[in-house]
Structure 1
């Protein structure tokens, strides 16, 4: 499966997030809400794994996610995954769900 490098970080005190990955010189942004609220997090070394670019469109559900203690992992219901090592550990780890929307520029 293809992969892309980028970052993911929390916004608004841990209830929202944004991420950006570059594929073929195009920035793909996935941003949305997670529940429950987590401590603020950031990973500057995140990896997006996907099957095809058509998966990186529209609003998508986070089927399974975990933030902490040293990593972040989000599995989207339509297949792609976002994983990364957190810049700073979060204790305890938090299991999350939510939704996000893809955009390009």
Structure 2
């Protein structure tokens, strides 16, 4: 196994950009959480049983996934920058896009059915 490269402090602009990206993931999670609570509290029930609860729980679950993965992602990127390695790819980008697509289709189906 090759030795770990020594860590060096990256240019502060990259560290701050990484922090802004982390905060963007947190804002996204908060937005999804607010959407889930809003759907549950403010929307009238759909004609399909438990449709409102399912849509709200989908938003909240996606918010939890985004929040739970944002800090480990920040840490992996920071470590890569400090050791001069390539930045890791994020599986969250397609997962978030797919999750929002599923929620949008589910919302459209619930609205059309009601």
TM-score band, normalised by shorter chain: under 0.3
Which structure is higher in helix share?
A: 2
Which structure is higher in strand share?
A: 1
RCO greater where, 1 or 2, for CA within 8 Å and sep 6 or more?
A: 2
Larger radius of gyration: 2
TM-score, normalization: structure 2?
0.19
